[in-house]
Amino acid sequence: MTPRKPVTDWATDWDHLDPRWREDPYPIWDKLRRSCPIAHTERYQGAYLPTRYEDVRAIANDSTHFSSRRVIVREVRPEPMPSPPITSDPPHHKPYKQLLLPLFTAEAMTGLEPKARAICNELINKFIADGHCDAAQQYTRHIPVKVITHMLGVPETDSDQFIKWIHEILELGITDDVVLMQAVREMAEYFADHIAQRRDNPERRNRSKDDLISQLLEARIDGKLLDDQHLNGMLRLLLIAGIDTTWSGMGAALWHLARTPVDRDRLITEPALMPMAIEEFLRAFSPVTMAREVVKDTEIGGCPIKAGNMVLLSFPAANRDPAVFRDADKVIIDRKENRHFAFGLGIHRCVGSNLARLEMTVAVEEWLKRIPRFTLAGDAAWSEGTVRGPRQLPIKFSS
Amino acid sequence: MRIRVDPDKCQGHNRCKALAPELFALDRFGNASAVGDGRVSSGLEEKARLAVANCPELAIEIVED
């Protein structure tokens, strides 16, 4: 891979793959918000970067000018691959979203809680005697992927394969189209196989009738079953969207607690604060950045927006906007007013938000029960691309 | 005090339900509505305000009687 040209002016030449962005993006966004709140770059065939909360809201709520048919800013723009509903605009979006929503309600998710807690404890068992671990590689990385295999009804041992595909799609795929398409093809074959197993074998279908693959096989829109392309696209979405994202959210929470004993001890003595603390971790370290494609000229926050450009829809930048959040750069685990956009907003609000919250809560709670005192044993390494979280998180502890 | 949820704005974030379960009900898609006629019984006013302060869609409104 050729080295990237370093950014010299973030307002006119921003690049979310620049190493400085990966290390610490917050000062970059803070400065832009004050000087050029909708930045632009000629990279990626042209893309905008809004950093103000209200501008992000305006764009998310305007599907007339901002299409979701492409949701990742990449070097190239191949034909969009439909993964409904995330890549759908009105009026096609709603029926697909309404198929998924009942499967992901908070109530539906509570059934997964014992399984999620067991997964966390099995992981902790493997390293607790060592007195140290890489929490990103040995703990947080494995939790969401194991839970999703359970939900999809596929073997838990396929987890490593899923993590590899997601790395290829969300990180390497931004600049390497060949790797991206190969991962998408492999994933499609994988799901086609699981779909065929259920279609061709009534006994198998009956045994797994509650898993997501089987439920989507039975799902109908306007009385018609989903065709294979849409079915496969939805499964690809469920897999991609629920793994790196939550891995990142959990890792950032543990990273903060490892550096902030006062918050860590407070969560142990006041466990009722946990839901508020989780929301604050989601705000301060929002893992997910989405994108839109400008399909019609318009204006946002007084800035002309030209069709043909992409928009990097930075929920993490919006969530650090001091016009909306007091002490926006501070982590306040009992923050009372917190209308964060970590799960996006508008019609594309993350369908898995209840699952992500459950997993983050369980991961932090089980960790604190078993490992109440811990500190960083070195620098964390952060991911690159549109999902931000620790990929290495060295931690030491006395059990 | 009464609460109202705008069904066109609510996107099912569930923040209100988590903060004030007594005051909000969810439909099968996870979208919220006020329980009953939306009246906030005495002692739940703070929870109602918290729900408003945490709704990313600005979908909840407090109406003082």
pTM given for the model? 0.96
Structural contact between residues A116 and A139, judged by C-beta atoms closer than 8 angstroms: no
Structural contact between residues A222 and A95, judged by C-beta atoms closer than 8 angstroms: yes
pLDDT at position A1 over 60: no
User: pLDDT by residue (tens digit) across A20-47?
Assistant: 999 999 999 999 999 999 999 999 999 9
Q: Which residues of A touch B56 (CB under 8 A)?
A: 339-341, 345
User: pLDDT by residue (tens digit) across A323-358?
Assistant: 999 999 999 999 999 999 999 999 999 999 999 999
Q: ipTM surpassing 0.90, yes or no? A: yes
Q: Do B30 and A105 touch (CB under 8 A)?
A: yes
Residue A399 pLDDT grade (very low, low, confident, very high; cuts 50, 70, 90): low
Q: What is the mean pLDDT of residues A195-200?
A: 88
The C-alpha atoms of residue A397 and residue A131 are separated, in whole angstroms, by: 5
Q: What is the pLDDT of residue A240?
A: 86
User: pLDDT by residue (tens digit) across A245-294?
Assistant: 999 999 999 999 999 999 999 999 999 999 999 999 999 999 999 999 99
Q: Do B12 and A101 touch (CB under 8 A)?
A: yes
Q: What is the mean pLDDT of residues A388-399?
A: 93
Q: Which fold has domain B2-63?
A: Alpha-Beta Plaits (3.30.70)
Q: What is the pLDDT of residue A199?
A: 85
Provide the CB-side half-sphere exposure for A315 (13 A, CA).
28
Query: Which residues share a beta bridge with A396?
Result: A132, A375
Residue A82 pLDDT grade (very low, low, confident, very high; cuts 50, 70, 90): confident
- Touching check for B32 and chain A: CB below 8 Å? no
Closest by CA to B56, choosing from A126, A349, A69, is A349
Closest by CA to A168, choosing from A108, A239, A77, A262, is A239
What are φ and ψ of residue A291, in 5° steps?
A: -145, 160
Residues of A with CB under 8 A from a CB of B: 98, 101-102, 104-107, 275, 279, 336-341, 343, 345-347, 349, 353-354
Closest by CA to A387, choosing from A256, A260, A243, A262, is A243
- State the first-to-last Cα distance of chain B, in angstroms, to the nearest integer: 5
The C-alpha atoms of residue A322 and residue A320 are separated, in whole angstroms, by: 6
As a whole-number percent, the residues of chain A with pLDDT over 90 amount to: 83
Which single residue is written with the structure tokens 């493997």? Answer: A126
Residue A209 pLDDT grade (very low, low, confident, very high; cuts 50, 70, 90): confident
Residue A80 pLDDT grade (very low, low, confident, very high; cuts 50, 70, 90): confident
* Span of A138-152, A195-209, A248-262, A330-344 with lowest mean pLDDT: A195-209
CATH number (1.10.630.10, 3.40.50.80, 1.10.275.10, 3.30.70.1450) of A10-397 reads 1.10.630.10
Residue A134 zone, left/alpha/beta (φ > 0; ψ -120 to 50; rest)? beta
The C-alpha atoms of residue B42 and residue B65 are separated, in whole angstroms, by: 13
Q: What is the pLDDT of residue A202?
A: 75
The H or E element spanning position A395 is strand A394-397
Q: Count of A–B CB contacts within 8 Å?
A: 49
Going through A204-297 in order, the beta strands assigned E by DSSP cover 220-221, 224-225, 290-294
Q: Which residue among A105, A343, A347 sits closest to B26, beta carbon to beta carbon?
A: A105
Q: Which residues of A touch B14 (CB under 8 A)?
A: 106, 353-354
Closest by CA to A293, choosing from A74, A53, A29, is A74
